[in-house]
Structure 1
Amino acid sequence: MAKKSVIQRNLKRIQICDRYRSRRQELKGIISNKSIPVHQRFIAQLKLSKMPRDSSAVRIRNRCLLSGRGRGVYMEFGLSRIALRKLCPFGYIPGMLKSSW
C-alpha cells in the first residue's frame, strides 16, 4: 500500500489539472498557431509557464484505486495487477476469470 500522503498528493494534482485544463488548452492552441504574431505567442508561453506545475496532466500518476500502487496498473480497470489477481477468482470483475486448465 502506498503512503497516504502520496495518494493524496496525486488526488490534489488531478483536481488542479481538471481546474486548469481548458485554460492550458487555449494557451497551447495559441502557442502552436503559426498565424498568430510571435509576440502574442510568446506572451501565451509566459502565461503557460506561470501556471502551477501540478496543472500539467503529465504529473498525474495512474494509481490503483484499492492499494494506491503506482506500477502495474491496468487503465481499463483502475486496479493494479495484484489487486486484479485477488479479485478475479471471486467474480468481482465482470467477464474476467482466472484461467485454469
Structure 2
Amino acid sequence: MAKKSVIAREKNREKLEKKYYLIRRFPTNEMREVRSLNDKWEIQAKFEELPRNSAPTRLHRRCFATGRPRGNYRHFGLCRHALREMIHQCLLPGATRSSW
C-alpha cells in the first residue's frame, strides 16, 4: 500500500491539471502557429507562471486498490499484484487465471 501522503499529492495534481487544462491548452496552440522566437519566449513565460503540478506530464497512473505506481494495467486500473489476487478470487469476470 502506498503512503497516504503520496496518494493525496497525486489527487491534488489531478485537481490542478483539470483546473488549468484550458489555460494550458490555449498557449500550446499559439506556440504551434507562431514563427517568431521572441513570441515563443513570451508564450513560454505564460507557462512558467502556472503551477508546476498543473502540467499533465506530472500525473502518474496509480493502482485503484493499493495506490502502487508501477505495474499498472490500464484496462483494469489495478497493479499486477492486486490484479492477480482479484483474478484468483474470481472477482474479475472474463479474466482467466494462470499458474506456471
Q: Give a deviation string over 1:21-71, Cα, whole Å, max 9, x none.
A: 111111111112135x55443322111111000011111111101101111
What CA distance in whole angstroms lies between the structure 1 residues aligned with 2:91 and 2:22? 36
Structure 1 stretch 59-68 or stretch 89-98: which is displaced more?
89-98
What CA distance in whole angstroms lies between the structure 1 residues aligned with 2:22 and 2:8? 23
Q: Structure 2 stretches of 5 or more lacking a match?
A: none
Matched position secondary structure for 1:95: coil
Alignment-mate amino acid for residue 51 of structure 1: L
Q: Contact (CA 8 Å) 1:88, 1:98: kept in 2 or not?
A: yes
**Structure 1 ranges of 4+ moved more than 3 A:** 37-41
What CA distance in whole angstroms lies between the structure 1 residues aligned with 2:85 and 2:46? 47
Pairing of 1:12-31 with structure 2 (within 5 A) = 12-31=12-31
Matched position secondary structure for 1:61: coil
What CA distance in whole angstroms lies between the structure 1 residues aligned with 2:99 and 2:4? 36
* Aligned residue in 1 for 2:7: 7
What CA distance in whole angstroms lies between the structure 2 residues aligned with 1:66 and 1:38? 47
The alignment's TM-score, normalised by the length of structure 2, stands at 0.89
The alignment's TM-score, normalised by the length of structure 1, stands at 0.88
1:86 aligns to 2:92 (yes or no)? no
Matched position secondary structure for 2:63: coil
Q: Contact (CA 8 Å) 1:31, 1:42: kept in 2 or not?
A: no
CA RMSD of aligned residues (A): 1.7
What CA distance in whole angstroms lies between the structure 1 residues aligned with 2:84 and 2:98? 11
Q: Structure 1 stretches of 5 or more lacking a match?
A: none
Q: What is the total number of aligned residue pairs between the two structures?
A: 100
Identity of aligned residues (%): 36
